[in-house]
């Protein structure tokens, strides 16, 4: 359980930190797309006998660079590009896992998470990637905010918008990669998005929204893991249900505060 809480809390820190930029830029579908592509990366890692966290990260980075190139070329609409990668990534992953020589790979662990079986090596991988992601985000917080607010104004002002978009997308890929063990491929988008949406109900500043979303994310992870342990529930899904409960509570509190004032 200690390893489960450690990896869960690291994810609780980094998911909303990257997620807030994804949400305000309406990139939620992109988060899901990267999650599905990570399955293909996991399959590649299984074949090569390397850590699935790093192979998923590499697959996501390759995919995100491809998505950005296609978007910039504007030959296909943004939705089309994202859909192609989303369904293609999931399909490729499932097929490759099925072809694995050892056979009998438990796909559901990757799809829904298996936080209770996280190893020490996985925790170290998650810690390293978390520290890098948080460090880069902290270093580029102001430019990320300016580009997220208005890309055209940021570009007109000389900010390297394309570079910043790519870095943010890679950080999203890193978040996806470390979340596979915790909540699984199908639910990671929820942990990046729902705590942020919950915090946005309070209509506060950007920094305050980030702080509140991290708190909600931590509460969801701790509450979800505890509930799943005592009630024998799927841990990843329980964490996400906790975050949805937090969202509902935030919405009600915010509405009550507005009505009172």
Partner 1 sequence: MQVNEPIIVADNLSFIRNGEVLFNDFSFDVKPGSYVAVIGPNGGGKTTLMRVLLGLTKPTSGSVMIFGRPPTHPEARRRIGYVPQRGGLIDQMFPATAEEVVAAGRAQRDGLRNFFAKNDRHAIDDAFSVMRIEHLKYRPIGSLSGGERQRVLLARALAAEPDLLVLDEPVDGLDPASREEFYDALRRINTLGKTILFVTHDVHRIAREAVSAICLRHELVCHGVKACHISGRRLRNIHHGTRAELAEHHGA
Choice between 3 and 25, CB closer to partner 1: 25
Q: How far is CA 142 from CA 48, 159, 167, 217, 234, in A?
A: 39, 11, 14, 23, 38
Distances (CA, A) of 169 to 111, 133, 166, 172: 21, 11, 5, 5
Measured from the CB atom, the residue of 29 and 146 that comes closer to partner 1 is 146
In angstroms, give the least distance from the CB of 54 to partner 1: 27
CB atoms within 10 A of CB 214: 21
Q: Least distance to partner 1 from the beta carbon of 151, Å? A: 6
Cα 2 to its chain centre, rounded Å, is 22
Q: Which positions lie near partner 1, rule CB under 8 A?
A: 20, 24, 26, 138-143, 145-146, 149-160, 199-200, 203-207, 209
CB-wise, 1 or 156, nearer to partner 1? 156
- Nearest approach in angstroms of CB 70 to partner 1 is 20
Burial (CB count within 10 angstroms: exposed 0-12, middle 13-18, buried 19+), residue 175: buried
223 class by beta-carbon count within 10 Å (0-12 exposed, 13-18 middle, 19+ buried): middle
Residue number with CB closer to partner 1 (13 or 159): 159
The least distance separating partner 1 from the CB of residue 240, rounded to whole angstroms, comes to 22
To partner 1, the closest distance from the beta carbon of 26 in angstroms equals 8
Complex with partner 1: residue 76 or 150, whichever CB lies closer: 150
């Amino acid at each position: 359980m200690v390893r489960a809480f450690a990896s869960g809390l690291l994810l609780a820190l980094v998911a909303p930190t990257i997620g807030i930029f994804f949400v305000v830029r309406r990139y939620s579908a992109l988060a899901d797309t990267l999650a599905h592509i990570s399955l293909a990366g996991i399959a590649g890692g299984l074949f090569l006998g390397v850590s699935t966290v790093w192979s998923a990260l590499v697959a996501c980075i390759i995919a995100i660079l491809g998505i950005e190139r296609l978007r910039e070329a504007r030959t296909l609409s943004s939705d089309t590009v994202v859909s192609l990668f989303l369904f293609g990534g999931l399909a490729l992953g499932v097929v490759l896992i099925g072809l694995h020589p050892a056979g009998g790979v438990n796909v559901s662990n990757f799809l829904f998470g298996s936080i209770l079986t996280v190893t020490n090596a996985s925790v170290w991988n998650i810690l390293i990637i978390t520290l890098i992601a948080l460090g880069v985000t902290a270093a580029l917080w102001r430019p990320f905010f300016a580009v997220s607010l208005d890309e055209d104004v940021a570009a007109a002002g000389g900010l390297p918008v394309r570079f910043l978009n790519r870095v943010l997308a890679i950080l999203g890929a890193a978040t996806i990669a470390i979340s596979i063990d915790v909540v699984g491929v199908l639910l990671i988008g929820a942990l990046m998005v729902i705590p942020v949406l919950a915090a946005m109900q309070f209509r506060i500043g950007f920094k305050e929204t980030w702080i509140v979303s991290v708190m909600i994310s931590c509460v969801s992870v701790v509450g979800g893991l505890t509930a799943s342990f005592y009630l024998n529930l799927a841990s990843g899904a329980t964490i996400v249900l906790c975050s949805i409960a937090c969202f509902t509570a935030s919405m009600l509190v915010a509405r009550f505060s507005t009505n009172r004032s």
